[in-house]
Structure 1
Amino acid sequence: MSSPRPEPDDDGDPILEARVARAVAPYADLLPAEDLEALRALTARFLATHPVAAPLVDRLRPRAPPASSGEVDRRDPTALAEAALRLAEKASAVRGGGRGRPR
C-alpha cells in the first residue's frame, strides 16, 4: 500500500522534524550525542510508519486546496428526508405528551 508520506529519512519534512524535535527534547541533556541521534532516527521512523501514529502526523499537514469549487453531495437526499421525518415525529410525540417528556 503506497502512502503520500515522505520516507522518515527524508530531511525535507518540517512537520515530521518538528514532532521528532519535540519528542526527543526532554532527553537532549541526558543522552550522549550518538544515542540522541539514534533516538531521533527511531522516533522519525515510528512517527512516519506506525499505523496509528502516522495518520496523526498526517493530520498536522496542511491540506491541498481543492482542484475546483462547487457543491459536494455529502448524503443521499432520501436518507436526509427520512431522518427529517423521524425527527418531526419525535418532536410531535414530545409536544403531545408522549414518551420523552418527564412528568
Structure 2
Amino acid sequence: MSSPRPEPDDVDQALEARVAHAVAPYADLLPAEDLEALRALTTRFLATHPVAAPLVDRLRPRTAPASSGEVDRRDPAALAEAAQRLAEKASAARGRGRGSPR
C-alpha cells in the first residue's frame, strides 16, 4: 500500500530529501548549473523509474486509516485467474513426473 504521489506543484519532501542526499557528494565538485542539471536528472529518475519510484513511495509518510478492517488487495477475478494458471502448472508438472516426455 503506497501513498498517493503528490501533485507536480506540491513539494515532495521524501523525494527532495533523497535527491539532496544523492547530489550532496557533487556539491563542491560541480559548477552550479551542472549541479542543478544533476539535481533535475536525479529528481526525474527517482520520480519515474519503475524500480526507484516505488522505493521513494515507501519513504512517504502514510495517513492513518479512517477505520480498521479487511482491505481487498486484489481483484477476485485476477486471483481466480492466477489460481487457474497455478493449477494448470501443477497438473503439467505431475504429468512430467511420471515419465512423460516434455
Q: TM-score range by the shorter chain?
A: 0.5 to 0.7
Please, which runs of 5 or more residues in structure 1 have no aligned partner?
75-103
Q: 1:64 to 1:73 in 2, by over 3 A?
A: closer
CA distance in 1, matches of 2:43, 2:61: 19
Deviations 1:10-47 (A, max 9, x none): 46111111000000000001100000000000000000
CA distance in 1, matches of 2:63, 2:71: 20
Give the aligned partner of residue 6 of structure 2. Answer: 6
- Give every structure 1 segment of 4 or more consecutive aligned residues whose post-TM-superposition deviation is greater than 3 Å: none
Q: Which has the higher contact order (CA 8 A, sep 6+)?
A: 2
Shift of 1:65: 1.1
Q: 1:20 to 1:73 in 2, by over 3 A?
A: closer
Give RMSD over aligned pairs: 2.4
Given the two structures, how large is their TM-score scaled by the length of structure 2? 0.60
Give the aligned partner of residue 20 of structure 2. Answer: 21
Please, which runs of 5 or more residues in structure 2 have no aligned partner?
73-102
1:53 aligns with 2:79: no
Greater C-alpha Rg: 1
Q: Which moved more, 1:56-65 or 1:36-45?
A: 56-65
Give the percent of matched residue pairs that are identical in Structure 1 and Structure 2: 84
Given the two structures, how large is their TM-score scaled by the length of structure 1? 0.60
